[in-house]
Structure 1
Amino acid sequence: MQRKIKLVIIIATLSNGGAERIAALLSENLPDNFEVSFLLYKDEVFYSYSGNKYILKVNTDNKIIKQILNLRAINKYIDEIKPDLTLSFLTNPNILNLLSISHTKIISVRGVRSKSLKGLGGFIYKNLIKLFYNKADSIVALSKGVKEDLIDNFKIHSNNINIIYNFCDIERITNEKNIKLDIKNHKIFEKPSIITAGRLEFPKGHFNLLRAFKNVKNSIHDAQLIILGKGKLKKDLVKLAKELNIFNSVHFLGFVENPFKYFSKADIFVLPSIMEGFGNVIIEAMACSLPIISTDCIGPKEIITNSANIKVEDEILYAEHGVLTPVFKNNKYRNNNSLTKEEVLFSSAIINLLNNSSLKNRYKLESQKRVKDFSKDKIVKNWIKVLNDFNLS
C-alpha cells in the first residue's frame, strides 16, 4: 500500500485572491496519496478545498510580535502534524515557512517583488527574500517574468526555480458560466459590455481604466463597464466615476463567488493592471470565450504572446491570443488630468474590438484554444513532479 505524503500548505487565508484560489484548487486535485493540511492566519475561507484546516489565531497589532507568534504557531502545528513537505504561498508565509522547523520547504512566488514591495516594509521584505529564499528546497515561480526577477534582483539560484503557471478548472468554469443572472444584472449586458475583475487596489490600475473608459464612451455611447472585486479604493473609484460623468455606466458589483456567469455575458475582458506575476483571471476569462485586452504588466504577455521577452511601449500589439497595450504609469490621475498615451491606446484597443466583430470573434476562438494549455490536468502534473522530487513515497 502506498504511503501517504503529508503536505502542509501555509497561506494567510483562502479568500479573495489568485494565490488563495490556486492553493484551494491544488488541494482538491492532488492524487489520493497526498494528505493535505492548511495552516491559515485567519479563518477566512471563500474557496472550496480538500484537507484539514488549522487557524494560527494570533491576535496582536504589533507587527513584529505577530510574526514571532505566527512562527511559533506554525512550528506547533508542524510538530503536531509532522509533514513530509511544507508549501507556502506569498511573501510573508514564504519567510515563515523558511524559518520553520519543517524538514522540506517549498515556496511559491507569485509576483514581481522588486516592483511590488514598497516603503519600509517593502525594503525589509526585499532583504529577507535575498537572505532566505536560497534556503528553500524548491522555489515555484508563477511565470518566466517572476523567475527572471528573482534571479536578476534577488540573486536567487536559477537551478532551484521551477516555473509552474496557474491552472484553470475549465470543466468547473464551463458549468458555472451558464448559470443565469438576475434580471437587473442581465440588462447591463444587453449593451456593449467590458468586464474586469480584481482587488480594488492601486496595482490593479482601476483609476486608469475609468479614465480610458470615459474615452470609450465618447465613441460608443451605450458602452458599459463591469468591475468585479472589493477593496479599499472603492470610494475613490466611485468618486472618480462620478467626476467623469460615467457613473451610471460603471457597475461596481463587488466580490462574487461565481464571476464566470458574468464573464460569459460580456463582450470583452480587460486587465488594466500595473503589475501581475501571471494574471490568472485572464485564463479564467479565456475559459468563458472572452477576447482579452491587457496591459503589458509582466505575466500576461506569457499568456497572450507565448513569450516573456516582448515589450510593448508605444503601440497596440494584436498578438496571437489577445491584445497587449503599454502598461499604465502608476499614478492616481483625476478627471481633470489629460489622458496619458497609455490610456488612449487602451481605450483605442477596446473601441476597435467592440467595433470589429470579425476581430472580436477571432480572439474569442483564440481564447478557447489557448486556455487548454493551462488545463488542470497539465499543470497539476507539474506540481506533482515538484512535490515528488523529494522521493517521499
Structure 2
Amino acid sequence: MKKVAFLTNSMGGGGAERIVANLGEHFSQDGDLHSEVVLFERNDFYKPHEGVQINYLADFRGKEHPILKLLSLPLIAWRLRSYVRKNNIDVVQSHLYRANYVNIMAQMMGGTHESQIVNHDNFFRGYRKTFFGRQKLKLVDFFYKRADKIIAISEDMREGMEELLGRRVEKINNPYDIEMMEAKGMEEVTELPKGRRYIISVGSLIPLKRGEDVIEGYSKIANRYPDYDLVILGDGSERKNLEELTKILGLEGRVHFLGRVENPFKYLKRSEIFVMASESEGFPNVLIEAMACGCQVVASDCISGPREIINPDLHRRVDKLTSGGYGSLFPVGDVEALGQGLESAIKGQAKYQVSRRAGDFQREIIMKRYKEVLLNG
C-alpha cells in the first residue's frame, strides 16, 4: 500500500484547502492508498471527516507576519523531511505556494518521498509588473522545476506554467461532491427575506474579485426587476467599501452581505443566478458549485477557469457579452455587459444545462485521475 501525505498551509476557508480536505477524506477509505493530511497552521475552518489523520508541522495560527512565515519555511521543511522518513511516506502532494516550496525543500534536504505539487493560482497574472511579483516568479521557477510532478487545475494555467517552466505539466480539474452539495442545499435559509428572488455572488471581498463590478452591474437592472435582490457571501478588506457603494447607488435593503458562511450551498440553491466578476482565478470552485445548485451563471472571462467551465469550445477572449455553452461570459471590468448578462438570465432567454455540466467535475471522476497520478507518478 502506498503512503501519501497531502500537504497544505491550513484548513482555512479557501478553495484549495477544501480540495485537500476532500482528497484526504476520499483516500482515507481507499484500499490502495494510505493517506493523511499535513498542515502548518491551526486556523482550521474546514473539518475533514473524523477518520482523516491530521498532523501539524508548526503551531502557527495564520495571523503571523508574512516575513515570519517565509523565514520559517526551511525549519518546516526539515520537520517535513523528518516526518516523511519516520513514517515511510512515499508521496507528498502539496497544494498552495508555501506548501509547494516546503515539499521541494524537504526533498532537497534528504526527504525520500516523491514530490508532487499542485498549483491553484495564476502566478503569470501580471506578476512580472511588480518587484515582489518578479521575486515570486523566481521562487516558482527555482522550486517548481525540481518537483517530480507538477499539476495545474485548469487548461490556461497548464499552458502558462509549461511556457514559464519549460517542462510538462499535468492538468487535473478540481473535484466536487455533487451529492453533498445537493443535500446541504436543502437546509433552510432564515437570514433572507421571504418572497424575493435572488442573484448571488460568492467569494473573498478583495480587489481581485471586483465586487464593485457585481454591485454596479446589478444596479443597472435593479429598478427594472424590483423583485430581484443581490446576495453577497464572503468577507475581506473591501467589505466596508462595498457596503458604502450600495448606499451611494441607493441599493440599501436590496443587497444582503451575509459574510463568510459554513454552508454556501443553501444560499446558492435559493438563488436563480450566480455572478462572478473576478479579474483572475485559478479554477473557480464556486462556479461549479453554483451550477450544481442549478444557478444560471454570468461570469467574467478572466484567466483562468470560467471559459473552460462555461464555454469549453470557445478559444478566444470575449470582447462583449457572449452567451453559449453553459452560460454567459463578459469582458473583465465591463459593467454594462455584466448587467446585460443578468438581464438575459432573468428573462430566461436561454436556459443552460448547468447541473449536467457540473456533473463533469463530480468527485468520483476527478478522484480517479488523482489516484492514477498518486499510484503511478
TM above 0.5, yes or no, is yes
Greater CA drift, 278-287 or 302-311: 302-311
User: 2:4: which partner in 1?
Assistant: 7
SS in 2 for 1:80: helix
Q: Does 1:381 align with 2:354?
A: no
**Residue of structure 1 in register with 2:84 after alignment:** 78
Residue 115 (structure 2) pairs with residue 115 (structure 1)? no
Which residue of 164, 170, 173 maps to 2:172?
Answer: 164
Q: Secondary structure of 1:14's match? A: coil
d(CA) in 2 for partners of 1:79, 1:54: 15
Q: CA deviation at 1:308?
A: 6.5
State the partner residue of 1:32: 31
How do 1:241-280 residues align onto structure 2 when only pairs under 5 Å count?
A: 241-280=246-285
Aligned to 2:343: 351
Residue deviations 1:333-356, cap 9 Å, x none? Answer: xxxxxxxxx1000011101211x2
Q: What is the alpha-carbon distance in structure 2 between the residues aligned to residue 46 and residue 58 of structure 1?
A: 16
User: Which residue identity is paired with 2:41?
Assistant: K
Q: Confirm or deny: 8 A CA contact 1:294 1:300 kept in the other structure.
A: yes
RMSD: 1.9
Does 2:165 correspond to 1:150?
Answer: no
Q: Check whether the contact 2:272–2:294 (CA below 8 A) recurs between aligned residues.
A: no
Aligned length: 362
Change (3 A) 1:8 1:308: farther
CA contact (8 A) 1:301 1:324 kept: yes
Q: 109, 116, 139: which is aligned to 1:128?
A: 139
Where does 1:1-393 land on structure 2 (aligned, <5 Å)? 3=1, 5-30=2-27, 31-49=30-48, 50-57=51-58, 61=65, 62-63=67-68, 64-101=70-107, 102=111, 103-115=113-125, 117=127, 119-152=130-163, 154-158=164-168, 161-182=169-190, 184-187=191-194, 190-297=195-302, 298-307=304-313, 309-313=315-319, 315-328=320-333, 342-354=334-346, 356-357=347-348, 359=350, 362-363=351-352, 366-390=353-377
2-structure distance, mates of 1:307, 1:82: 44
Give, in whole Å, the separation in 2 of the partners of 1:114 and 1:234.
Answer: 27
**Match for 2:142: what amino acid?**
L
Give me the identity figure in percent. 29
For residues 126 and 224 of structure 2, the distance between their equivalents in structure 1, rounded to whole angstroms, comes to 35
Q: TM-score, normalised by structure 1?
A: 0.87
Gaps of 5+ in 1: 329-341
For residues 36-70 of structure 1, the C-alpha deviation after alignment (integer angstroms, 9 at most, x for no partner) is: 22221211222232522122325564434222333
In structure 2, distance between residues paired with 1:347 and 1:110? 29
CA–CA separation in structure 2 for the residues paired with 1:348 and 1:378: 35
- TM-aligned CA distance change 1:307 to 1:80, over 3 Å: farther
**TM-aligned CA distance change 1:149 to 1:383, over 3 Å:** same
Q: After the TM superposition, list the runs of 4 or more consecutive aligned residues in structure 1 that deviate by more than 3 angstroms.
A: 58-64, 116-121
C-alpha distance 37-238 of structure 1, shift in aligned 2 (>3 A): same
Kindly state the Cα deviation for residue 162 of structure 1 after the two structures are TM-superposed. Answer: 1.1
Bigger drift between 106-115 and 213-222 goes to: 213-222
Q: Would you say the 8 A contact 2:120–2:282 is kept in 1?
A: yes
Q: Whole-Å Cα distance in 2 between the matches of residues 148 and 18 of structure 1?
A: 21
Secondary structure, aligned partner of 1:323: strand
With normalisation by structure 2, the TM-score equals: 0.91
Q: How far 1:299 moved relative to its partner?
A: 0.9
Name the SS for the 1:385 alignment partner: helix
- Rounded to whole Å, the distance in 2 between the matches of 1:199 and 1:13 is 17
